[in-house]
């Protein structure tokens, strides 16, 4: 939006004393003996500068198509780059983070220092991949079912494919784990997606949807695959676009020995173990003077390792006469850095010499707000043909600008997509470039739905307790009071959660505070705050007007606040080539308000609680329905009713079944249902009908009704049984958590899709799928039935590696040559993995509660499946070794839930 402030409102003399803040920071620096160069109060750090030089690579001719390598690091902040730290005792190297390869990339290309990311992982990826403000895309958070890009959105992969590019994805995705939403369905010709977000060793990856056992460390495996892909494209002279999303430097999941978030925060050893801390990198970091704290040392070691991996990729491109001439490298992050476990001011300043306030997930009570610069301001580096070496621009940009820029450089602007929020900055990638008036007068806004609930109570309540109201068409009703900018009395609703930037100014919707961030000081302290006598109210009023216009435009988007539609039978091959559909509990679109709760699962606590999910059969088939859950009902059993309701001119119930659930298991089979292919959505609804003693002889559990008319917005009422009449609103909760029934997912497995006797290729696939065995419909159904009996999913690869099969020797890579430090790191990781496996899998019936002993005889399929379940946290009852599902249950406070990205 082009909106210029009046000069009288922005060109103001402004100075407020920050002596107290500066003194506190000086004391912290002195305690760690940090030396000069770190931020003090509102005075920015004193950092090294470097000269701007002509481009290292000449510009491309207009007829040439450039290649692109887009790297989005996980949780890397502005301060996680060596050049952004003061110099150490030698006056040359960084006193903090050690990133020589990133430093070289920056000095050889352009650096954008006023670059904004998103509050959390999923949103930052959605914004980069679509070129649109993330709330417009259906992505709203890291979980609650809002971590998906709507199927109507065109991704970076789609746009580049349409422009004639071969596209590839490696690493993290975090935009839905559901069938049809994965990268191989969203515009990427080839994709390597690890099975577990942070499992670093010998990962069983999904390659274009099919499980492939890999050997080695995950970042090195992905770099190896990437180098092979680029080499092949170089040989066939095909332009390419690579999207690489490392898992580094994100924190690892909660260590097993610490049961919950509170224990981690109170234990120094656990703090140090939160980050994957590679040796010998950490030992090198600890030799720095002054030595960092344990937490920072772990982070910087992981960062140093990632920099080592990235250096191999940079060197490959730079050493290739072809790729060096025509390849752009763009590197940024998804969100701000994470310092959730560090409260000590000295250690925080050592990690963040910029002095920026806050970090990812941090709510600052003193501000009464979140989305501080430490969580949103980040960095973008661009290297490539015609890009000046060492150039620095402070033009205000954000993640949504990357896709339009790539499209302009690739002459792909004419492709089909929703209207981009971002704007191309290709004009800035030239020597002596100046920002356009649109770039200079830009106003940008961010919806802050991250971290603690206090950051945005309306969004937290909406996602976890209420869900948006649906209209008669069963789509989110817009507008509605729950989504309003302010209520009828002018009180904040969504305004509470919006922050804005314009030029040097930053505005908080919650408080209407305004800060002036000038002269390299991105520090939101009183010394940078605009007081009333200097025009705060006038500036805030301009922001407020523009923010409301922005929010109204978000609500007008067709995909905002949408959740996934779960596709069934996608791709139309036989069972072994068709993924089951995992209808995630968090994808719920309607629930009974007041008694139910949503996070990564859905809690049922009262009789008559119900939830509904959107589904769409793509292929006519019979689908086995498996309900995955956790439940505690000592001496009781719960009666559930599952309905399928078809949309259209007249809503009608096409399937209904009652079934009892009694014991604590991973899943229960609700039988099979025949569904016809349709372009119209249906809804799958699950209702808690009653709770009865185990010895109750009520036979309603076997009742089934099909084709009965249904009306209203909830599930069908079901048979008028005595059990249903008794239910009322009686609550039955467990003693340890207040929940009765935790729904994790519903898995629909196709069993009789016609056999095509040929592997199905995705449009544009560049992979060799020859030799895949495809079972007939009859054989598939028989295999599925056998899987139900044995518990081992059909089609488990023969070469899978369980924890007990870990080799002590580092892997060999085809294209990637590890450094000596990498080899030593992998050797140590393997030693630790072997020791942990031996401790976890002692003997059957072991009292070790961390992991049950593997079932079955050594070497048996049952034994291997139990090992894999332990390694990847997969649930029982999966039937087929495709699209395996694992729960995402977060034991900490609500807010992040990013361990299932």
pLDDT of residue 887: 82
Q: How far apart are CA 96 and CA 267, in angstroms?
A: 24
Q: How far apart are CA 840 and CA 848, in angstroms?
A: 7
Comparing 223-232, 408-417, 587-596, 769-778, which segment has the lowest mean pLDDT? 769-778
Mean pLDDT for the stretch of residues 721-746? 54
Closest Cα partner for 381 from 83, 64, 168?
Answer: 83
- Checking if the pLDDT of 780 tops 60, the result is no
Q: Which residue has the tokens 């604590």?
A: 664
Q: Which residue has the tokens 């390792």?
A: 305
777 or 458: whose pLDDT is higher?
A: 458
Ranked by mean pLDDT, the top range of 339-343, 831-835, 856-860 is: 831-835
Helix (H), strand (E) at residue 392: strand 391-393
Mean pLDDT for the stretch of residues 714-740? 42
Mean pLDDT for the stretch of residues 796-818? 95
Question: Contacts by 102-108 with C-beta closer than 8 Å and gap 24+?
Answer: 102/307, 102/310, 102/331, 102/381, 104/314, 105/314, 105/329, 105/331, 105/381, 105/383, 106/81, 106/381, 106/390, 107/50, 107/83, 107/389, 107/390, 108/56, 108/383, 108/389, 108/390
Mean pLDDT for the stretch of residues 29-39? 75
Mean pLDDT for the stretch of residues 204-216? 95
- What values do phi and psi take at 197, rounded to 5? -55, -40
The pTM is what? 0.90
CA dihedral 613, 619, 623, 626 (to 10 degrees): -40
Q: What confidence tens digit (pLDDT) does each residue in 643-689 have? A: 999 987 677 888 999 998 876 666 788 889 999 999 999 999 999 99
766 or 386: whose pLDDT is higher?
A: 386
Q: How far apart are CA 180 and CA 579, in angstroms?
A: 10
pLDDT of residue 855: 58
- What values do phi and psi take at 19, rounded to 5? -60, -40
- What values do phi and psi take at 535, rounded to 5? 95, 15
Q: Which residue has the tokens 């590019």?
A: 165
With vertex at residue 357, the alpha carbon angle to CA 355 and CA 361, rounded to the nearest 5 degrees, is 135
Comparing 64-68, 358-362, 548-552, 793-797, which segment has the lowest mean pLDDT? 358-362
Query: Which residues, other chains included, contact 373 with Cβ-Cβ below 8 Å and sequence gap of 6+?
Result: 356, 357, 358, 506, 517, 522, 523, 524
- What values do phi and psi take at 359, rounded to 5? -165, 180
> What tokens appear for 229 in the block?
């892909």
> What tokens appear for 107 in the block?
């000095």
> What tokens appear for 311 in the block?
């250096």
**162 CB burial (10 A radius; 0-12, 13-18, 19+):** middle
Task: Please spell the DSSP secondary structure of 148-196, one letter per residue.
Answer: ---TTSPPHHHHHHHTT-EEEEEE---S--STTTSGGGTT-SEEEE-SS
Comparing 28-32, 415-419, 641-645, which segment has the lowest mean pLDDT? 28-32
- Whole-number percent of the chain with pLDDT over 70: 80
Task: Please spell the DSSP secondary structure of 633-680, one letter per residue.
Answer: -TTEEEEEEEEEEE-SSS-EEEEEEEEEE-S--SEEEEEEEEE---SS
Q: Which residues of 830-853 are buried (b: 16+ CB within 10 A; e: fewer)?
A: beebbeebeebbeeeeeeeeebbe
pLDDT of residue 295: 85
Mean pLDDT for the stretch of residues 65-77? 97
Query: Which residues, other chains included, contact 847 with Cβ-Cβ below 8 Å and sequence gap of 6+?
Result: none
**720 CB burial (10 A radius; 0-12, 13-18, 19+):** exposed
Comparing 80-94, 220-234, 665-679, which segment has the lowest mean pLDDT? 665-679
Q: How far apart are CA 400 and CA 335, in angstroms?
A: 13
- Checking if the pLDDT of 801 tops 50, the result is yes
56 or 452: whose pLDDT is higher?
A: 56
The answer to whether 401 touches 116, Cβ cutoff 8 Å, is: no
Average pLDDT over all residues of the chain: 83
Mean pLDDT for the stretch of residues 416-434? 96
Model confidence band, residue 366 (pLDDT cutoffs 50, 70, 90): confident
Per-residue CA distances from 469 to 472, 476, 487, 650, 681 (Å): 10, 6, 16, 20, 18
pLDDT of residue 94: 95
> What tokens appear for 154 in the block?
């065109």
- Checking if the pLDDT of 848 tops 70, the result is no
């Amino acid at each position: 939006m082009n909106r210029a402030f009046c000069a009288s409102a922005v060109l103001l003399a402004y100075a407020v004393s920050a002596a107290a803040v500066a003194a506190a920071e000086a004391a912290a620096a002195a305690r760690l003996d940090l030396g000069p160069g770190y931020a003090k109060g509102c005075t920015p750090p004193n950092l090294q500068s470097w000269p701007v030089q002509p481009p290292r690579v000449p510009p491309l001719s207009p007829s040439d198509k450039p290649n692109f390598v887009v790297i989005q690091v996980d949780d890397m902040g502005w301060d996680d780059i060596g050049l952004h730290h003061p110099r150490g005792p030698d006056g040359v190297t960084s006193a903090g983070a050690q990133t020589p390869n990133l430093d070289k990339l920056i000095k050889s290309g352009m650096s954008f220092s006023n670059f904004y990311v998103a509050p959390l992982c999923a949103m930052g990826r959605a914004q980069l991949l679509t070129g649109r403000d993330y709330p417009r895309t259906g992505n709203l958070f890291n979980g609650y079912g809002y971590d998906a890009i709507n199927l109507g959105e065109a991704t970076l992969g789609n746009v580049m494919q349409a422009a004639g590019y071969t596209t590839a994805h490696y690493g993290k995705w975090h935009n839905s784990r559901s069938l049809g939403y994965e990268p191989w369905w969203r515009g990427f010709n080839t994709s390597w997606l690890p099975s577990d977000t942070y499992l670093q060793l010998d990962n069983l990856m999904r390659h274009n949807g099919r499980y492939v056992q890999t050997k080695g460390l995950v970042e090195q495996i992905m770099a190896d695959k990437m180098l092979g892909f680029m080499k092949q494209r170089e040989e066939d002279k095909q332009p390419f676009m690579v999207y690489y999303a490392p898992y580094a430097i994100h924190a690892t999941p909660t260590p097993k020995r610490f049961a919950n978030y509170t224990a981690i925060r109170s234990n120094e050893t656990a703090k140090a173990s939160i980050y994957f801390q590679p040796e010998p990198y950490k030992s090198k970091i600890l030799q720095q003077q002054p030595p960092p704290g344990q937490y920072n040392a772990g982070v910087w070691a992981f960062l140093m390792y990632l920099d080592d991996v990235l250096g191999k990729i940079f060197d490959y491109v730079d050493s290739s006469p072809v790729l060096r001439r025509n390849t752009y490298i763009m590197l940024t992050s998804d969100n701000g850095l994470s310092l959730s476990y560090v409260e000590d001011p000295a250690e925080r300043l050592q990690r963040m010499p910029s002095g920026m306030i806050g970090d990812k997930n941090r709510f600052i009570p003193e501000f009464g707000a979140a989305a501080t610069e430490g969580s949103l301001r980040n960095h973008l580096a661009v290297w490539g043909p015609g890009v000046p070496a060492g150039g620095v621009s402070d033009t205000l940009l954000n993640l949504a600008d990357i896709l339009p820029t790539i499209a302009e450089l690739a002459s792909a602007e004419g492709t089909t997509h929703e209207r981009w929020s971002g704007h191309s900055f290709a004009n800035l990638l030239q020597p002596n470039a100046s920002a356009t008036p649109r770039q200079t007068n830009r106003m940008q806004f961010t919806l802050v739905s991250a971290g603690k609930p206090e950051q945005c109570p309306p969004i937290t309540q909406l996602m976890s307790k209420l869900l948006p109201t649906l209209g008669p068409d069963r789509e989110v009703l817009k507008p509605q009071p729950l989504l309003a900018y302010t209520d009828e009395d002018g009180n904040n609703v969504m305004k509470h959660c919006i922050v804005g930037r314009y030029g040097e100014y930053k505005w908080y919707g919650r408080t209407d505070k305004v800060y002036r961030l000038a002269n390299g000081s991105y520090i939101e302290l009183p010394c940078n705050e605009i007081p009333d006598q200097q025009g705060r109210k006038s500036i805030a009023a301009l922001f407020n007007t523009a923010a409301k216009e922005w929010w109204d435009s978000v609500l007008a988007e067709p995909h905002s606040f949408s959740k996934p539609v779960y596709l069934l039978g996608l791709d139309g091959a036989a069972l072994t080539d068709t993924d089951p559909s995992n209808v995630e509990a968090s994808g719920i679109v309607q629930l009974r308000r007041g008694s139910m709760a949503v996070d990564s699962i859905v809690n049922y606590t009262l009789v008559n609680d119900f939830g509904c999910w959107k589904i769409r059969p793509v292929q006519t088939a019979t689908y086995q329905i498996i309900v995955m859950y956790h439940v505690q009902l000592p001496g009781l059993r719960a009666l559930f009713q599952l309905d399928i309701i078809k949309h259209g001119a007249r809503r009608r119930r096409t399937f209904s079944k009652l079934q009892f659930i009694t014991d604590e298991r991973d899943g229960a089979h609700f039988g099979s249902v025949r569904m016809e292919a349709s372009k119209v959505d249906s809804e799958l609804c699950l209702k808690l009908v009653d709770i009865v003693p185990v010895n109750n002889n009520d036979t309603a559990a076997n009742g089934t009704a099909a084709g009965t008319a249904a009306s209203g917005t909830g599930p069908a009422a079901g048979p008028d049984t005595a059990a249903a009449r008794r239910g009322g609103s009686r609550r039955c909760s467990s003693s340890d958590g207040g929940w009765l029934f935790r729904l994790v997912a519903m898995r629909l497995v196709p069993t009789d899709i016609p056999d095509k006797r040929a592997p199905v290729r995705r449009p544009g696939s560049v992979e060799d799928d020859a030799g895949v065995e495809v079972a007939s419909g009859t054989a598939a159904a028989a295999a599925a039935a056998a899987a139900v009996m044995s518990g081992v999913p059909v089609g488990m690869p023969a070469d899978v590696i369980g924890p007990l099969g870990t080799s002590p020797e580092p892997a060999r890579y085809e294209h990637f040559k590890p450094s000596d430090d990498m080899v030593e790191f992998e050797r140590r990781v393997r030693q630790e993995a072997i020791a942990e496996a031996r401790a976890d899998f002692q003997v059957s019936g072991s009292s070790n509660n961390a992991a049950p002993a593997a079932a079955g005889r050594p070497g048996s399929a049952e034994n291997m499946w139990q090992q894999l379940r332990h390694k990847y946290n997969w649930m029982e009852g999966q039937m087929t070794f495709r699209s395996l599902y694992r729960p995402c249950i977060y034991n900490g406070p609500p807010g992040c839930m990013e361990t299932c990205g």
